[in-house]
């Protein structure tokens, strides 16, 4: 499974001005529901927040990958946002976050979940890729980069 299989063009936004980690997670949940109406935004919000309580998904260098498992979910789902201004995400390096990729997978999806997380972590650990991503002005261009 590739990132292009889980990230719809309409699940990418840029230029949002959000104030906190919880507001970011709330907006991600709404984005997921808008593209996948069978998935409840409140359930997505709860799952992502539950995972954050275990430890921050802020990887460092302004990147976070909140993720969780959903019951009654048939396939992995992604959503991405590039914030106008970074927010505190309790990241490992204590730096605020402006690039956030949310990943939701079916409850029983173990291997695929880990493979997608590994792909995302590899992509976002590439400093050149992250720097170039931050220069993009449109959601369309960001989607192309993420799914290439």
pLDDT band, residue 111 (cuts 50/70/90) = confident
pLDDT, mean of residues 70-94: 93
Q: Which of 47, 67, 113, 143 is catalytic?
A: 67
> Looking at residue 1, what is its pLDDT?
80
Contact at 8 Å (CB) between 99 and 64?
yes
25 closest CA partner among 54, 55, 64, 61: 64
Known catalytic residue at 67: yes
Mean pLDDT over all residues of the chain? 93
pLDDT, mean of residues 13-24: 96
pLDDT band, residue 117 (cuts 50/70/90) = confident
Distance CA 3, CA 77 (A): 9
Residue 91 burial (10 A CB sphere; 0-12, 13-18, 19+): buried
Contact at 8 Å (CB) between 105 and 70?
yes
């Amino acid at each position: 499974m590739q990132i292009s299989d889980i990230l719809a063009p309409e699940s990418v936004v840029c230029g949002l001005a959000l104030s906190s980690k919880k507001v970011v997670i709330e907006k991600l949940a709404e984005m997921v529901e808008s593209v996948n109406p069978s998935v409840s935004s409140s359930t997505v919000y709860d799952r992502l927040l539950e995972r954050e309580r275990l430890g921050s998904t802020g990887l460092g260098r302004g990147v976070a990958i909140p993720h969780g498992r959903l019951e009654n979910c048939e396939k992995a789902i992604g959503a991405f946002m590039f914030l106008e201004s970074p927010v505190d995400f309790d990241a490992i390096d204590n730096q605020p976050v402006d690039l956030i990729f949310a990943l939701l997978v079916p409850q029983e999806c173990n291997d695929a979940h880990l493979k997608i997380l590994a792909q995302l972590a590899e992509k976002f650990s590439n400093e050149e890729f992250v720097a170039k991503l931050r220069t993009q002005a449109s959601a369309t261009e960001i989607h192309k980069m993420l799914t290439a």
